[in-house]
Structure 1
Amino acid sequence: MRFFTVLAFTVAALALPVTFGAVTLNASFEDRYTPRSDGITPRPAHRPHDPVKPTAVVVVGNEGAVVSDALAPYEVLAASGAFNVYTVAPEVRPVTLTGGLDLIPDLGFADLDRLLSSAAPDVVVVPALPDLGEPTTRPVTDWLKRQSARGSLLMSVCNGSGVLATAGLLDGRKATAHWIRIDGFDDEFPAVDWIRGTRYVDDGNILTTAGILSGIDGALRLTERFAGTETARKAAEAVGWAHYSPGSSPPMTQNTFEAADTVVGFNTAFRWDKPRLEVLLTTGIRELELAAVFDTYGQSLAVETRAVGLDGTPIRSRHGLTFAPRGTPTTELDRLIVPGTDAAASHAADRYSGLAPVYLHSVPGFPFDAVLEDLVRTTDSATTRWTARTLEYRTDHLALDGEAWPWTVTLRPFGLAALGLLAAFGIRAVSRRFAGQGPSPVRRGSGDSH
C-alpha cells in the first residue's frame, strides 16, 4: 500500500511540470519557423546578371532554413564583388528563416536553369534545413545531386552537411558539422569521415563548415578559391569579420555540452512568458544585421521575434534580397528592436517613438556583438553564453556579464511540483475525511423487543 501511495504522490509532483514543460517546449521549437498565413507572395527584386562572373546560389527549402547559415555566406560572397549571388528554392514563395523572417527567394530552380541556359551554378551554398530527413527536403536533395553531377562546388553550412549526407554526396569524404549534431551524424551517416575541431573542411568540390557563423569562414575560403586571397581579405573587412585565416581554417576548440547548457532546457520548457520582440525591417539593411537579430534571439530560445515593417510592405536588403514583414509594429510587443547601422543613423523608427525603439547597431562593430550584449542585459549570462556557443562565435572581446542564471524560470518546475503535491495531499485529506465518516449506525428504541 505504501508503494502505491509514494507512486501516486510522485506522479502528482511530476504531472504539472511535465505537462506545462511539454507544451512550452513544443511551442519553443515550432514557433521559430511558423510560416506566414496571409497567402501573400511578393515578387523578388530583379537584379542584373553578369555572365563574366561565376554564379553562387544559396539554396533554401520550402520549409525554411537557419537564417545565419543562409544570410552570412550570402553577404560575404556579395560583398566580395566576385560573384553573381542569388537565393534559390524549389519555388518562389515566402520561405521562413529562423525567428519568423520571411525571405522571398530570387529564383526557383526552373528560373535558375533559364538564367544560366541550363548550366550548373559555380557554387551552391547549403544551409541547415529545419525539416532535415523529412520527405519535404526531397526537392532540394534531388536538385543538389544534379548540380553536383554537373560540376557545381557545394558548400554546406552547419547542419547543411546533413542535407548533403542525406543525398549521399558525402559518402567516403571528410566533412564537419555543428558540434551539437556531429555525434548523431557519426551514427546516422557512418560512410562519412566526420572531422571535429575545425571551422571548415575543404575536400575539393565539396566544402563543409562547422556551426552557423563558421559559414563566414567557408564563404571566405570559396572567395579565395575563385578570386584570390586579397579579394577574400577585403570581403572579410567589409563584413567586419576579424577572424579571417588566409589559406586555412582558423583554429577552433571543439565545443561539447557543459553543465551550464542545462539553461536551454529551462528556457524551452518553462519560460512560457517569453518577451515578444518586434523587429523592424528597413530598406538597405545588411543581411548580417538581420541574421544577427533573428538568429541570436532565436538560438537563445528565451525570446520570441516577429518581423515588422514601417508600412508592412516588402523591403530590399543591402545586397538585393527581398524580405516581407508580417505587418507593422503593434502595442502588444514588449520591445521594438531596430537593427542596422543605417536605421540607427537615420532614426528610422521615429514615427514609433511611443514604443521606445531600441537601435541595436548605433555603435560600429560586427553585427552579432550588439545583439549578444543586448541579450545578456535582458536575460542572463548563462543564456547568452549558450547562444554564443551555439552560434560558434568567439566572445573574448565582449563583456557578457549580467545576471548569472535565470533563477525565476528555474524555480518554476519546482513550484509546479509543489502545487501538484499540495493538490494530492488535499485530495487525500478529503477522501480520508469522507471515508472516516461512513454511514451512521441505526439506534433502536427502548421498547424494541429482543
Structure 2
Amino acid sequence: MRAHSIAIPFAFFLLLAGLVVATAAGAETPAAGPLELKPGRERAVVAVVALNAGTEVTDFLVPYSVLNQAGAAVMAVAPSSDPVAFWPAASVRPDADFAQFDTAYPQGADIVVVPAVHDPDDAALKAWLQAQAQKGALMVSICEGSFALAAAGLLDGKRATGHFYEHENRTETFPKVRWERNRRYVEDEGVISSSGVSASLPISLMLTERLAGRDRAAELAAAYGVADYGPKHNTDAFNIGMEEITTALKNIAFGWPRAHYLIEVWDGVDEVNMAFPLDFAARTWRGSSAAIAAKAEIRTRHGLTIIADETGEAPGGARLVRLPGAPASAAEAAVTLASPATLREDFLAFIGEELGDKTAQFVATQLEYPRR
C-alpha cells in the first residue's frame, strides 16, 4: 500500500465498500530545550509541505496555524505553484513551490512538517525532503507523513511512529525503521514522527514550546482544549474490529439519505477550527464534507488562500456547520460550534445525535482521537 490515497489508513474499508473516496514503546522522549535556529535568523522558518495531487487537510492546517501563532515564519510549500487538493475537501494555494522556497531560504528551513500525502514515493518530494534534512532542518511528520520520511530514507535506523492502523504495513515496508506503538510522538536524531491525525495538535504545541516557551504553548493548548500535549498515548485503545467494519458497511449500504456537511469559511477563519469538522464529517461513511464561502477564494487567519468547494447559499438539504467567530449570517446552521476549546467534542456529539454514537466513535477511531 505504498501508493496511498489520503485515506491511507482505511484502504481496507475502501476495498470492502468498492469505493475510492508491533514493537513495544521505547523510552520517554526526553525534554528538549529551545530550537536552535539557522545563523542570522530571529525567528524560525517553517515549511509545511503539501503534495499538489492530495494532502490530508488536518495534518496540514493545524501545524500551519499553531506554528504561526508560535511566532514562526510559516510557508505552505509544494512541488509546484498549482493549487493543492486537500482530502477530504477544499484546496489551498501554496505560498511557494520547492524552487521558490529554496531561492528565498538557501540555508533551508528550521523545521519541515510533512503531512500524509497522496503519494509518499513522489520523486520531487523525496528529493526535497532529503535536501532539507541535509541542511539540518528538524523533520516532523504528522500521522502517515511518516511514510514520506521513510520513503526518503530519513527514518532508517531510527525510532518512529505513525497511525495505529498502518503499523504492520509500515513494519513490512520499511524494516530498517524501529516502528513504535503507544506513543503520541517519537523523536530520534533530528526527526520527529507522530501518530494519528489527531496528533497534529499535540505535536504542534510541543514545537510551540520549543519556539516560544512553555507559557505560550500552554496558552494555545488551553485555547484549543488540549489538556496534555506530552508524548504519552495509548495506541492499543484504538482498534478496527468487527464493530467498526459493521458500522462502515451499514453506513455505506443503508445510510440514506446521504448527509452533506458544508463547513462555512470566510476571510479570517481559524485554520484549526476549519480543519477538524471537514475531516470528521467526511469519515462518517454515510456523507460528505465541503467548504462553502461567500466567494471562490478566502484568506485564512494566517494568510492561506483557500479555494472553496461551493459558494453562495447552502443548497437545500445540506447541513451547514458554523465555526467559532463566524460573521453574522441569516443562513440557518445545523450546528454552531461556539468554542475552539470544545469544538472537536461538540462536533462529535453532533454527529452522534444525527447518525448515532457508533458512527461518532468510528469517526474518532479513524483519526486516532481519544474522546473524553
Counterpart-to-counterpart distance in 1, 2:212 and 2:333: 41
Counterpart-to-counterpart distance in 2, 1:363 and 1:153: 32
Structure 2 residue matching 1:26: 3-state secondary structure: coil
Structure 2 residue matching 1:319: 3-state secondary structure: coil
Q: TM-score, normalised by structure 2?
A: 0.84
Q: Which runs of 5+ in 2 are unaligned?
A: 1-13, 22-39
- Identical residues among aligned pairs (%): 29
Give the superposition deviation at 1:256: 2.6
Alignment of 1:7-406 (within 5 A): 25-27=18-20, 29=21, 51-81=41-71, 83-116=72-105, 118-133=106-121, 137-245=122-230, 249-254=231-236, 255-262=238-245, 263-268=247-252, 271=255, 273-310=257-294, 312-329=295-312, 332-343=315-326, 346-347=327-328, 349-350=329-330, 353=331, 356-363=332-339, 365-396=341-372
Q: Which moved more, 1:298-307 or 1:103-112?
A: 298-307
Counterpart-to-counterpart distance in 2, 1:88 and 1:172: 28
Note the aligned Cα RMSD (angstroms).
Answer: 2.3
Give the superposition deviation at 1:51: 4.8
C-alpha contact 2:282 2:289 (8 A) present in aligned 1: yes
User: What does residue 32 of structure 1 align with?
Assistant: none
C-alpha contact 2:184 2:199 (8 A) present in aligned 1: yes
Give the superposition deviation at 1:332: 4.2
C-alpha contact 1:120 1:150 (8 A) present in aligned 2: yes
C-alpha contact 1:276 1:333 (8 A) present in aligned 2: no
Counterpart-to-counterpart distance in 2, 1:79 and 1:339: 23
Per-residue displacement from partner, 1:318-344 (whole Å, max 9, x unpaired)? 12211011332456442242332111x
User: What does residue 415 of structure 1 align with?
Assistant: none
Give the superposition deviation at 1:24: 6.1
Q: TM-score, normalised by structure 1?
A: 0.70
User: What does residue 37 of structure 1 align with?
Assistant: none
Give the superposition deviation at 1:80: 1.8
Counterpart-to-counterpart distance in 2, 1:359 and 1:264: 24
Counterpart-to-counterpart distance in 2, 1:110 and 1:23: 41
Give the superposition deviation at 1:23: 10
Q: Which moved more, 1:171-180 or 1:374-383?
A: 374-383
Give the superposition deviation at 1:363: 4.6
Counterpart-to-counterpart distance in 1, 2:314 and 2:65: 33
Query: Which structure is higher in strand share?
Result: 2
Counterpart-to-counterpart distance in 2, 1:265 and 1:24: 7
Q: Which moved more, 1:264-273 or 1:210-219?
A: 264-273
Give the superposition deviation at 1:187: 0.9
Give the superposition deviation at 1:271: 4.1
Structure 2 residue matching 1:145: 3-state secondary structure: helix
Change (3 A) 1:225 1:119: same
C-alpha contact 1:241 1:366 (8 A) present in aligned 2: no
Counterpart-to-counterpart distance in 1, 2:256 and 2:102: 46
